Amino acid sequence: MQQCMSPERFARIQQVLSQRQHDLTLLMEEVHKPHNVSAIIRTADAVGIHQVHAVWAGNPELRKGTALGSQIWVRNKHHDTTADAVSHLKSQGMQVLVTHLDNTAVDFRQVDYTKPTAIIMGQEKDGATEEAVELADQSIVVPMIGMVQSLNVSVAAATVLYEAQRQRSDAGMYGKGKIPEIEKQEILFEGGFPVLYQECLRRNLPIPHIDDSGCIDAPEVWWQALQYSQ
């Protein structure tokens, strides 16, 4: 038995994966409204971010991913605390920025986003916590010349991310994404065969190999196990 995704679908997924930026990411610190979270993740996908990070100590639905919608294209990593998250990001050699208005804040366009970068987006009402501001390397602001003092968090995230995308595109940093083969295979299978992927999860079956033609390369016993419930 053989199943293949269309050549167009296979080529599209491979193209998307080649554009992924492993050293550009966001940290959502208690951003709790599902529509904002979904909008941020959608923008992250649009600019080529491979993984976003989040601290959702008080929102079990978001921690479970039940309010996020599709997570195929952007991976989500949860952290128990802001300190844990920032420590993890800095251990990867990232400069950590936080959107926050203070005496040290700079215009977001003055930052070099071609460096490995993580951007903290704070909670909708109160913004980033004092802990996040203290742990970050630099505060950044989106200049406001109207009556309102701040943008919606998802709009602010999009504004900053597209500046990062512009800088990285100008520097030729797209089209060179390298995803570990195991993770690439999972994304190809989940994105190309979503129904079969869910069945594999439900029945605890291993992720099959996707060959160079976009076809499932699995032994007969795997197909048999897929056909019959355990």
Annotated binding site for S-adenosyl-L-methionine: 99, 142, 151
**DSSP per residue, 123-154:** BTTTBS-HHHHHHSSEEEE----SS-S---HH
What is the C-alpha to C-alpha distance for residues 44 and 39, in angstroms, rounded to an integer? 9
Quote the strand ranges of 14-122, DSSP E. 24-29, 51-55, 75-79, 95-99, 106-107, 117-121
- Length of the chain (residues): 230
Q: What are phi and psi of 49, to 5 degrees?
A: -75, 135
Rg (CA), the chain: 20
Q: What are phi and psi of 24, to 5 degrees?
A: -135, 125
37, 45, 29: which is closest to 135 by C-alpha? 29
Distances (CA, A) of 30 to 26, 27, 122, 132: 12, 9, 7, 11
Residue list, annotated binding site? 99, 142, 151
Distances (CA, A) of 70 to 37, 42, 73: 12, 9, 8
